[in-house]
A and B are shown apart, each in its own frame.
Chain A
C-alpha cells in the first residue's frame, strides 16, 4: 500500500511539473511577444511528419483495437470455457498448430489480435495455442497473404512468409507457454471485481469491450508515439546501407520493421521497394513487424506479465534471426 501511495504521489508531482512547465513556456512566449510565432513551431516539417504518422497509426490501429475488444466482449458473454476446451486439445503442439491457423477465422490486424488473445487465455484456451494465435494471425490470414502476392507477384515470397511465420509461431508457442494462464496475464483488479451479471447482454458485451479499449488504447498511443518518432527521425537508408551483407541485412531489416510499426497488410509493398536487399531479409521484415513492432511491444507489456513478454520478445527475435540466416543459405527461397 505504501509503495502504491508513493507511486501515486510521484505521478501527481509529474503532472503538476508538466502543468507548471507548460504555463511558464506560454508566459515566456507572451512576454517576448512571440506567442503568435507559435504557429511556426506547429508548422515545422518534422512535427508535421510526426503528427501525420502518429495519427495514421492510430486511425489504422484504433478500429482494429475496437473490433478486437468487441469480439473479446462477445467471446466473454457467449462462449463458455467448455466450448474452447473441446476445440483446443491440451497437447501443446496440436493447440499451437490450431492457434496459428485461427487467423483464417478472425482475420484481424496486429492491433486487434491482442484483446482477442487476452480473452482466449482468460477463457482457458491452452497458452501454446493462444501464443501462436497472437503471433501468427496478422500474417497467416487471407488478406495479408494476398497483399504479399500483389506486392511481389511471386508465390515463392508468399510461401516463404507463410512458412516462416508458421514455424516461428508454433515453435515459440510451444517453447514459452507456461502451464498456468496466471503466468501470462496481468490482473486488472477493478475489472475483476466488477459484477456485470445484472445488466442487459448488450451492455455487458460493451462493458467488457470498454475495459479492453481503455487498457490497450492508451498503450497503443504510447507505442505509436515512439514508432512515429523513430519513423520521423531515423533515415531508412541507414538500415538499407548497413544491410548489404546477407546476415547483417536480416538483423537490420528486423530492427527496421520493429521501429517502423507498419500494418501487416501494407508492409509487403514497403519491403518490395527495398530493391537491394535479399529476399530472405524482406521476408523477415514482413514477419518481424507484425509479431513485435514497437507499438505492439508496449501493448504486450500492458496486457501480459513482464517476465512473459521478455521471454516472448527474445524468443521471437532469435527464432526469426536463425530462420532468416538458415533460409538465406537455402537456394530458391
Chain B
C-alpha cells in the first residue's frame, strides 16, 4: 500500500488524532481531569488550528513523499501519550500524589476571597455543606465560622496508620494537575476499617479546632462516586 509509505499521510494522522482527542476531551468535559476550566478557550483555539492543519495535510497527501525512519520515530512519539491515556483511563489524582507533594493542613487567603467563600456556603439539613478548602481557610482566618459546627464535606480517603483516624484529601488546582496542591483534614471515625484507600466519601460530623488543627468527629460516612470535577479551585 503506497499510502502507508507516504510521509504526508502520517502528518495528517498526527493532526487528525490530536484533533479528535482534544474534541472528545472538550465535548465530554474530561479535560477537567487534567486542567482547569480557564483553559477551555485555549483548547478550543487549539481544536480550530488543528482542524485547519488537518485540512492542509489532507491536501498534501496527494504529493507522495517517502517516509524515513526518523519520521516513523516521530509518529511513535506523537502516538505515545494518546495510547497511554486510552490504556490507563485516569479519573483523578490518587492519594499517592498527595503523599509525594506533602498534604497541606493550613491555608491562608486574602480577605476578599474569604468573603466570597463565606457567601458560597450551602446547607444540607442541619449540616453546613463545605469544601476542604473552605474548612482550612476558616480554621485559620475565622475559626468561629466552623468550630463546634455540624458540617458535611466530600473527599478521598487516605487511611494512614493512626487508629480511628484517617485523612480526607482534595486537590487544589490553580492551572493544571501538575500544580495540584493536596489539602487534607483529619477525620475521627470508629469504623475506619470499613473504608478503603482512594474511595470517595461524604463525611457528616462536627468540626473541632484544637491548637489550630482541624479535626472532624464523623457521625456518618457515605460512599459516593467521584464527582465530574474532582478538584477544588
Contact = CB atoms under 8 A, between A and B. Distances in A.
Interface in B40-78: 42-43, 45-46, 49-50, 52-53, 55-57, 59-60, 68-70, 72-74, 76-78
A269 B133 CA distance: 14
A278 interface: no
Contact of B49 (A67, A262, A265): A67
A222 B100 contact: no
B3 interface: no
Contacts of A43: 88
B176 A59 contact: yes
A203 interface: yes
A47 B33 CA distance: 15
Contacts of B34: 52, 55-56, 59
Contacts of B14: 214, 217
Given A48-B88, A55-B34, A261 B97 contact: no
Contacts of A63: 39, 42-43, 45-46, 49
B70 A8 contact: yes
A47 B96 CA distance: 10
B69 A15 contact: yes
Given A49-B97, A210-B57, A263-B179, A221 B77 contact: yes
A251 B124 CA distance: 49
Choose among A59, A64, A265 the residue with the greatest number of B CB atoms under 10 Å from its CB: A59
A54 interface: yes
Interface string B162-203: 000000000000111111010000000000000000100000
26 contacts: A8-B68, A8-B69, A11-B69, A42-B88, A45-B97, A47-B88, A49-B100, A51-B88, A55-B85, A56-B34, A59-B34, A60-B35, A60-B175, A67-B42, A209-B52, A210-B53, A213-B15, A218-B74, A218-B77, A234-B100, A237-B101, A260-B179, A263-B175, A266-B176, A269-B174, A273-B104
Choose among B11, B70, B176 the residue with the greatest number of A CB atoms under 10 Å from its CB: B176
B175 A51 contact: no
B134 to A, nearest CB: 17
Contacts of B94: 45, 48-49
Contact of A213 (B53, B85, B176): B53
Given A15-B69, A51-B90, A66-B45, A270 B74 contact: no
Interface in A142-185: 153
Q: Is the interface of A mostly helix, strand, loop or mixed?
A: helix
Contact of B31 (A12, A59, A66): A59
Query: How big is chain B's contact interface, by range?
Result: 35 or more
A311 interface: no
Contact of B78 (A221, A225, A269): A221
A240 B100 CA distance: 12
Interface string A221-237: 11011011001111111
A260 B179 CA distance: 8
Interface in B93-114: 93-97, 100-102, 104, 110
Given A52-B34, A221-B81, 18 more contacts: A45-B94, A56-B35, A59-B35, A62-B18, A66-B45, A67-B49, A214-B74, A224-B81, A236-B100, A260-B178, A263-B176, A265-B175, A266-B174, A266-B175, A267-B179, A269-B174, A270-B174, A273-B104
A233 B74 CA distance: 26
Contacts of B60: 207
Contacts of A48: 88, 90, 93-94, 96
A206 interface: yes
A52 B46 contact: no
B27 interface: no
A134 interface: no
A58 interface: yes
Nearest to B68: A8
